[in-house]
Amino acid sequence: MSTTDPTPDSRPQPPAGGTPLLGSADIRALADAFGVKPTKQRGQNFVIDGNTVRRIVRAGGVTGEDAVVEVGPGLGSLTLALLEVAEHVTAVEIDPVLARHLPDTVAARMPEKADAFDLVFSDAMEVTELPGPAPTALVANLPYNVAVPVLLHMLATFPSIERTLVMVQSEVADRLAAKPGNKVYGVPSVKANWYADVKRAGAIGRNVFWPAPNVDSGLVSLIRREPPKTTATREEVFAVVDAAFAQRRKTLRAALAGWAGSPAGAEQALAAAGIDHKLRGEMLTVEQFAAIAEHKPAKDSE
């Protein structure tokens, strides 16, 4: 899906030979031609290493039958690697300059796959539908400052996504993949587990980015599974999770008092769910949070 054409002197040139992927010199040349200066505000750190993007595609288990959605494609490093393998790729980009030029980069460097590519110019948090086939995989180098909300939004909005492989800040990767009892286990861990089995899938060095970030990066794999069996809605369960970790140093009886209407109400709900009220939220599984949500005390009748 094309957008406004760049001026002729900035049009991406096809590779001289060999790989269609973007290397360090290619990334800098495109950025200069398009007048792109990476901004911290949008978490823009472009991958400049072909081996890294191919590694991400492999780690994501992408096959020729997949329709992949990519969030934050930037100048197209990962996009091209995905198009080498996937049946279809849809990229969601919020930056107007990057969005305008990416279809032309794809057409110049991989013309045989141009019809298998769509570009959506939008904030990923506002995307509710995508062109082309329903996505079966999400693979992305997510902007660090919005990684978790974007990931959770995409998983909630597109249940057809079976596999996800995202590159995020290493600390965020640790939080997403943490298990109960781990000191970094928290809201992202529980909510991601609502949708999928989550695990770390590797580390990425700083030298494969331009500009190099001040933090390390990690890969996270999420394999879709059925959510916990519960009579509570996802929103009701997530409300319990948010309340439990808003005051994570407190016991569940105290942390859930506001949610339940009183400390006694929280203790009542916890007892009904079979959970010790002296525990803290960091000890509970997503299934246990769902059980608590099922037993929220009814509001006193007026």
Question: Is 141 labelled a binding residue?
Answer: yes
Question: Is 47 labelled a binding residue?
Answer: yes
Count of residues making up the chain: 302
**Spatial separation of the C-alpha atoms in residues 295 and 291, rounded to whole Å:** 7
- What is the three-state SS of the chain? CCCCCCCHHHCCCCCCCCCCCCCHHHHHHHHHHHCCCCCCCCCCCEECCHHHHHHHHHHCCCCCCCEEEEECCCCCHHHHHHHHHCCEEEEEECCHHHHHHHHHHHHHHCHHHHHHEEEEECCHHHCCCCCCCCCCEEEEECCHHHHHHHHHHHHHHCCCCCEEEEEEEHHHHHHHHCCCCCCCCCHHHHHHHHHEEEEEEEEECHHHEECCCCCCEEEEEEEECCCCCCCCCHHHHHHHHHHHHHCCCCCHHHHCHHHHCCHHHHHHHHHHHCCCCCCCHHHCCHHHHHHHHHCCCCCCCC
Question: Is 72 labelled a binding residue?
Answer: yes
Question: Is 123 labelled a binding residue?
Answer: yes
Residue positions forming the annotated binding site for S-adenosyl-L-methionine: 45, 47, 72, 93, 123, 141
Residue positions forming the annotated binding site: 45, 47, 72, 93, 123, 141
